[in-house]
């Protein structure tokens, strides 16, 4: 089947195109044309709308009442479908610190069923823990914390069938450098987070190969004028990527701008860190083993700590534009191509380019999500007020 998407604007990797046709053949992008294609193309008319690459969410704990740690195939399928309503066409199911056997079971199960989802595509697994420390543990269960273990990572990679793409650790642990070198040599991106590490500890980890900071500012030692800490490292070390939750609750907009200005918008990865309450109403939910109360779009544990988010990734894109710190093109890239680059999957997703699977989103000029397509087929359509 050949399709041509007609719209007012298209967002490509390093430029935008006005009015034209995005051509799709057999579920893949083929070309962009200013001219109307041949009669054997089905024309999808999105006049007055913008077309952008499907978003890539590299940090997703749950959605629609399901948690990745439920280890439930129907839950995984529901999360995948629900993410289309967030503008997301590729994602990493994200685990929590837990009993080793449960992590074993979860990664093995995802590896067995990940191709069965029909919404956003599973492009790998993000292991958030269990190699963290106490002070900035957030919604991670410290009963299961341990030193970084190459044997465990190897086991999880084997069980998942090679799906582990990212793992987060606290760099103050013993054996950090050896662990990071092993992980990166085996194509697993190492992220730093939930940590009280000093600037020098973080710098040493980055020198060993760590390349991402987990939800920057949250769950890490702050910037201080006598000790720059993890935040100082995230803002100044070259070549690193910084996850950022732009819901207006986790990080003050001005702090988000400071980070973007310090590192460049090509090094910031917009994430949702969404938990099971995403796309649900306020109420009582769980994140892993913890009770979470969601009120006014904020998820908190009983002790008042933030516990993931209920943020749609497309709303993060909209927020940073409305806050005046990014252009629409920059914001879209931070939630698609930059995210894909951060974990080395930009060869399969994150941009509109010939040969890539035709995952894309249709937006109003106000960045409201109108539709989401996967492999050239519409998977979600919003009910927009006209």
Domain that holds residue 376: 2-52+352-381
Q: What was the pLDDT predicted at 113?
A: 97
Query: Per-residue pLDDT for 97 more than 80?
Result: yes
One domain for residues 42 and 162: no
Give the rounded percent of residues in the chain with a pLDDT score beyond 70: 99
Q: Is 386 part of any domain?
A: no
**Quick one: which of 226, 167, 222 has its CA closest to 197?**
222
Which pLDDT band, with edges at 50, 70 and 90, does 26 fall under?
very high
Q: How much is the average pLDDT of 249-266? A: 98
Residues 232, 98, single domain; the answer is: yes
* Domain contains 325: yes
The structure tokens listed for 114 are: 């990940």
**Mean pLDDT across the stretch 109-127?**
97
- Tell me, yes or no, whether 327 lies in a domain: yes
Residue 365 domain flag: yes
- CATH, residue 360: 2.30.40.10
171, 247: one domain: yes
Who has greater pLDDT, 68 or 302?
Answer: 68
Question: What does the block give as tokens for 381?
Answer: 């359509």
Confidence band of 304 (pLDDT split at 50, 70, 90): confident
* Residue 128 maps to a domain: yes
Average pLDDT over residues 218-244: 98
Same domain, yes or no, for 109 and 250? yes
Q: 32 with 110, same domain?
A: no
Closest CA to 79 of 43, 113, 40, 47: 113
Is 163 inside any structural domain?
yes
Tell me the average pLDDT of the chain: 96
The whole-number pLDDT of residue 241 equals 98
Q: Is residue 261 part of a domain?
A: yes
Distance from C-alpha of 120 to C-alpha of 297, rounded to nearest angstrom = 23
Q: Are residues 107 and 243 in the same domain?
A: yes
Residue 207 CB partners (closer than 8 Å, separation 6+): none
pLDDT reported for residue 385: 54
Is the domain of 48 the same as that of 59? no
pLDDT of residue 59 exceeding 90: yes
| Kind and range of the H or E run holding 29 | strand 28-33
Residue 347 lies in a domain: no
State how far the alpha carbon of 105 is from the alpha carbons of 10, 155, 278, 315, in Å.
Answer: 42, 11, 24, 33
How does pLDDT run across 327-380, given as a tens digit for each residue?
Answer: 999 999 999 999 999 999 999 999 999 999 999 999 999 999 999 999 999 999
Confidence of residue 318 (pLDDT cuts 50, 70, 90): very high
Pair 291, 146 in one domain: yes
Report, as an integer, the average pLDDT of 306-315: 96
> Quick one: pLDDT at residue 384?
66
Please enumerate in sequence order all residues whose Cβ is within 8 A of that of 21, keeping only pairs 6 or more positions apart, or say none. 4, 5, 6, 32, 33, 34, 35, 36, 37, 43
Whether the predicted pLDDT of 386 surpasses 50: no
- What pLDDT score was predicted for residue 50? 98
Would you state the pLDDT for residue 240? 98
What integer is the mean pLDDT of 99-114? Answer: 97
Q: Which domain CATH number covers 285?
A: 3.20.20.140
Do 145 and 208 fall within a single domain? yes
Give the 3-state secondary structure of residue 305.
Answer: coil
Do both 225 and 243 map to the same domain?
yes
Tell me the average pLDDT across 80-106: 98
Provide the 3-class DSSP secondary structure of residue 191. strand
228 with 206, same domain? yes
Could you tell me if 46 and 68 lie in one domain? no
Helix (H, G, I), strand (E, B) or coil at 294: strand
Number of domains in the chain: 2
| Catalytic sites, residue numbers | 273
Whether pLDDT at 382 is above 90: yes
């Amino acid at each position: 089947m050949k399709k041509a998407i007609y719209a007012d604007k298209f967002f490509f990797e390093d430029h935008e195109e006005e009015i034209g046709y995005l051509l799709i053949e057999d579920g893949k992008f083929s070309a962009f044309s200013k001219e109307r294609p041949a009669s054997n193309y089905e024309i999808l008319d999105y006049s007055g709308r913008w077309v952008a690459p499907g978003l890539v969410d590299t940090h997703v704990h749950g959605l629609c009442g399901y948690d990745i740690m439920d280890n439930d195939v129907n839950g995984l399928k529901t999360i995948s479908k629900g993410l289309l309503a967030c503008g997301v066409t590729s994602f990493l199911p994200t685990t929590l610190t837990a009993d080793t056997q449960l992590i074993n079971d979860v990664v093995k199960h995802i590896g067995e069923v990940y191709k069965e989802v029909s919404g956003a595509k599973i492009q790998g697994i993000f292991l958030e823990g269990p190699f963290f420390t106490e002070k900035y543990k957030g919604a991670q269960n410290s009963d299961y914390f341990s030193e970084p273990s190459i044997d465990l990572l190897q086991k999880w990679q084997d069980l998942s069938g090679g799906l582990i793409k990212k793992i987060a650790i606290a760099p103050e642990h013993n054996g950090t450098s050896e662990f990071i070198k092993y992980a990166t040599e085996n194509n697993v991106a190492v992220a730093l987070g939930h940590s009280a590490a000093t600037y020098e500890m973080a710098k040493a980890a980055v020198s060993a190969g760590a390349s991402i900071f987990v939800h920057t500012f949250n769950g890490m030692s702050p910037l201080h004028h006598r000790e720059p800490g993890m935040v100082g490292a995230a803002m100044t070390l070259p070549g690193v990527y910084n996850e950022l939750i732009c819901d207006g609750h986790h990080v003050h907009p001005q702090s988000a701008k400071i980070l973007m200005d310090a590192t460049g918008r090509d090094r910031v990865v917009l994430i949702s860190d969404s938990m099971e309450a995403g796309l649900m109403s306020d109420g009582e939910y769980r994140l892993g083993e913890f009770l979470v109360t969601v009120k006014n779009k904020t998820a908190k544990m009983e002790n008042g700590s933030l516990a993931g988010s209920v943020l749609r990734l497309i709303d993060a894109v909209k927020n940073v534009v409305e806050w005046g710190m990014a252009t629409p093109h920059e914001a879209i890239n931070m939630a698609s191509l930059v995210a894909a680059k951060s974990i080395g999957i930009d060869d399969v997703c994150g941009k509109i380019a010939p040969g890539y699977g035709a995952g894309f989103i249709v937006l109003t000029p106000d960045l409201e999500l109108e539709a989401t397509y996967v492999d050239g087929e519409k998977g979600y359509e919003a009910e927009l007020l006209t």
